[in-house]
Structure 1
Amino acid sequence: MKLLSCPLNGPRNIEEFQYLGPLRGRPDPDALSDADWARHLFRAENRPGAMLEWWRHRPSNYVFLAERHTVTNAVIRTFDPSELEPGA
C-alpha cells in the first residue's frame, strides 16, 4: 500500500487522495483558441524533476500542496498552501 502524508490528517492510503494538477501552468481554456487548447492538452511539456502539485484528501476535503519528483514519483514534502513562499 502506498502512503501519502496529508499535512492535516497524517499518512493515509493513496486511494484517499485526488490529484488536482500542477500548481502553475494550467491555462484558462476560455482564453485560448481551440488549437492552442488542443496543443496544451496533447503536447504538454513533461519535464523531469521536482514539481509542485495540488492534492485533495477526499474524506476531509482538505486541499494541500505536494512536491513530487516526476521521474522517481517520490513525494519530497507535503504542506498547507498558506506555507507557500511568495513568488514560488
Structure 2
Amino acid sequence: MYWSVVFPGMTEGQAKWLLPRAEEGLPGLLGSIVDPNYFISLHVDRHSAETMKEALLLLESSDSSTESKGIARGLLEAVDDWLDAGGKYLEE
C-alpha cells in the first residue's frame, strides 16, 4: 500500500514539470505520469473494492472471452492484494 496525491485539472506540461521536482526533493521517491487518454485513475474505498471483487468473480465464471477473463483475473489480484493488506472502511 502506498500514498498518492491527486491534482485535479493538472495539464500534461504541469505533470511533467512537477514529477522530477518531487523526485528530486524526496530521495527514493519514484513516480509516474498517467495519461488520462489511456488510463483511468480510480480511488476506490473498501466497499467499492469488495463490490468490484464480486463483479470480477462473476465475469470470471461467465461466457466472456478468454482475454476478458484474463484481464479480470489481473484486476481481481490487485483488488485482493489491497483488501488483504488491510484496506479499511471509511468509518474506521
Q: Which has more radius of gyration? A: 2
Q: Which has the higher helix share?
A: 2
TM-score higher than 0.5: no
Give the TM-score of the pair, scaled to structure 2.
0.24
Q: TM-score normalised to the size of structure 1?
A: 0.25
